Chains A and B, each alone.
Chain A
Amino acid sequence: MSYSLKFSHLIEYDAGDPGITVSARLWLTAEKTVEVTAKVDTGSTNCVFSRAVGESLELKIENGLPKRIKTAAGGFLTFQHEVNLTVAEFDFDVLCCFAEDAAFERNVPGRYGFLMQVQMGLDDYEGRLYLNRNF
């Protein structure tokens, strides 16, 4: 048996880099927008971004909804804020987590808000990420 999916968007990334790297944009308005490099992570429940990204959007980080994220090495506190997240021309209205600790520098589109709304095909050998929006 074989299965096939068709995708509308292809993101090519450097398979030699650590992680599956995509460009993303977080924004509130045309003036409050920030472009970031992010690592797609199917193991991440949430979309998680650095404090610096949230502050670029002029968010008051601690005014958000607290959420602790656990990792293999421990955990860290984040605060959720509603923002627009754009990846490959797809725009999502999503609760993103922003790290409390400024030392956390990762940007990770995860399941809630992002992966749940797309179909994703991954060819890590070639460095190709295929995307469709689910509706």
Chain B
Amino acid sequence: MNVQEIIKATRRLPPEEKRQLLLALEADAAEVQVAQSELPAAKDKKLEIRERRMKWFKANQVRYGGQYVVMDEDRLLGTAHSYREGRELALSQGVADAFIDYLSKPDEEGEMGGW
């Protein structure tokens, strides 16, 4: 069975089995990602991207704080009201591994309820 036939077959699966398949594929992809990220060049690149992204956060916190930022490396793809909206935005632009997280406003306080 080739890849196209496998994709065609998976489309006939019930939703729960599709979900199980997706989880299995994501677990495999994560293992590959971890293995690749351990290569020296990949490791340096990832740390460098994080450094550039941190600079971007600091430079743009006033403008974009209070929203979810959706980023391809240190390039802003857009902002969103929730993580879900952010992920949909990233996928609509073909970026499956976008960084998505809430960027606080400079003076915004977080909360901890239980402690």
Interface residues of A (CB under 8 A from B): 6, 8, 19, 28-30, 39, 41-46, 48, 63-65, 67-72, 75, 78, 80-82, 89, 91, 93-95, 97, 106, 108, 110, 112-113, 116-117, 133-135
Q: Does B5 contact A (CB under 8 A)?
A: no
B110 and A81 contact, CB distance less than 8 A: no
B112 and A41 contact, CB distance less than 8 A: yes
Complex Cα distance, B27 from A46, in Å, reads 25
* Total B residues in contact with A, Cβ cutoff 8 Å: 36
CB distance from A98 to the nearest CB of B (A): 13
**Which one, A8, A70, A78, A112, contacts B102 given CB within 8 A?**
A112
Residues from chain A with a CB closer than 8 A to the CB of B19 are 6
A67 and B114 contact, CB distance less than 8 A: no
Can you list 21 A-B contacts (CB < 8 A)?
A6-B19, A29-B46, A30-B38, A41-B113, A43-B114, A44-B110, A44-B111, A45-B111, A48-B110, A65-B61, A67-B109, A67-B110, A69-B111, A70-B110, A71-B112, A81-B54, A82-B50, A82-B53, A133-B26, A134-B84, A135-B87
Residues from chain B with a CB closer than 8 A to the CB of A113 are 101-102
11 further A-B contacts with Cβ under 8 Å, apart from A6-B19, A117-B83, are A8-B20, A44-B113, A48-B112, A65-B104, A67-B110, A68-B110, A70-B112, A93-B101, A95-B102, A108-B112, A135-B87
Question: Closest residue to A83 on the B side, CB-wise?
Answer: B50
A116 and B83 contact, CB distance less than 8 A: yes
Q: Does B10 contact A (CB under 8 A)?
A: no
Complex Cα distance, B30 from A133, in Å, reads 13
Residues from chain B with a CB closer than 8 A to the CB of A112 are 101-102
Residues from chain A with a CB closer than 8 A to the CB of B113 are 41-44, 72
B112 and A29 contact, CB distance less than 8 A: no
Most buried by A among B34, B38, B109, B111: B111
A65 and B57 contact, CB distance less than 8 A: yes
Mark each residue of chain B from 62 to 104: 1 if its CB lies under 8 Å from any CB of chain A, else 0: 0000000000000000000011100100000000000101111
